[in-house]
Amino acid sequence: MRTQLATVDISNLFAPHADAQARAACGDALHHALRDTGFAVLRGAGVPPETLARMRLAVKAVFDAPRARYRDATVQKDNYRGYVPLGYFTPNAGGARADQYEAWKLHWEASATDPVCAVSTLYGPNRWPPIGFDVKGAVLAYWAEMTRVNDAVLGALCEALGLDKGLVLSMMDKPLTNMTLLNYPPTPARDDLWGIHPHKDFNFLTLLAHDPVGGLEVRTQDGQWMEAQCGAQDYVLNVGDMLELLTGGRLVSTPHRVVNRSALQRQSFPYFSVPRFDVVVAPLLAPVPGFERSPLQSGAASHAIWYSNWPDEAVQDAAMDLGHYAAD
């Protein structure tokens, strides 16, 4: 049984003098790690330490502030941006207790006048925490770094798998990419109580900075749970359902959960890359034996998944048409 995630050094994806062979080796290593477990640790991402440090300060400032300031900024079904109170969402499956986290939900920042807003209600400006700290500045600087890393990793995986890199990266124009600022209180050791219940991500790729507290656990192929250990300057990477579908099951979307058994507050800020709303995600390679999933539209499926956070909502038809967006 694997007891530790594979670590992949991706520095050659950004090195200006790295040759094609060195870059290809990065892609092959990523492919190998993600086809087996769906998770890997990234080393050499090149994120400036000050950008990450500023991001950590921003998240701390958000959850140090009085919650009364967020009373008018709670997420709503028609605007899944803003504050998520502790215990606000309950998993729909299994009758479990509410997840033990609070959050601030953010999406790809779109001006209200951007043409994409006229054809999809999923876009628009974010709500930013009404506090003195410049959370927006810190988040957008970090977001740009994560987009850089995401696109490099996605491109390397395309080359390793023989996919059209240009086609796949074009899906990330005006994306539904989102980020969650998270705060977890310590959680008692109970089988029905989690920071976040066992789940799979629904996107292309998830990037998560090193967590000094711990608590992220990944389910192994034999059904056991292992902690996702990650070095201080490294990032946890995992595959979501959309990328599993795009690759015909060659990259694996793996269940994971958060259990904060420490005596500390755990804070994290995962970045979830999601294609533009009108992209139809379907296998670009012949599916592996036993992999059978229908194509889905990114926007419709995302809408259904977000709505399913409310216990009174059933998942909607992921094939519904939200319109077509023509890029400028």
**Distance of alpha carbon 247 from alpha carbon 202, whole angstroms:** 14
pLDDT on residue 328: 45
Q: Up-side HSE of residue 109: CA atoms within 13 Å toward CB?
A: 11
Enumerate the β-bridge partners of residue 280. 297
pLDDT on residue 320: 44
Q: Which residue has the higher pLDDT, 313 or 273?
A: 273
pLDDT on residue 316: 53
- Sign of the Cα torsion 44, 48, 51, 54 reads positive
99 has pLDDT over 70: yes
pLDDT on residue 163: 97
Q: How confident is the model at residue 186 (pLDDT cuts 50, 70, 90)?
A: confident
pLDDT on residue 192: 62
pLDDT on residue 308: 78
What's the mean pLDDT when you consider all of the chain? 90
Q: Side chain identity at 283, as an amino acid letter?
A: P
Pairing label, strands 205-209, 196-199: unpaired
Task: Single out the residue of 7, 11, 5 nearest to residue 44, CA to CA.
Answer: 11
Q: Where are the domains of the chain?
A: 7-307
pLDDT on residue 44: 97
pLDDT tens digit string along 230-287?
Answer: 998 999 999 999 999 999 999 999 999 988 888 888 999 999 999 999 999 999 999 9
Report, as an integer, the average pLDDT of 153-170: 98
Enumerate the β-bridge partners of residue 205. 239, 273
pLDDT on residue 176: 98
pLDDT tens digit string along 104-153?
Answer: 999 999 999 999 999 999 999 999 999 999 999 999 999 999 999 999 99
pLDDT tens digit string along 5-44?
Answer: 999 999 999 998 889 999 999 999 999 999 988 999 999 9
pLDDT on residue 157: 98
H or E element at residue 183: strand 178-184
pLDDT on residue 91: 59
Structure-token match 């519904």, residue found = 320
CATH number for the region 7-307 comes to 2.60.120.330
Task: Single out the residue of 318, 276, 321 nearest to residue 301, CA to CA.
Answer: 318
Report, as an integer, the average pLDDT of 65-69: 96
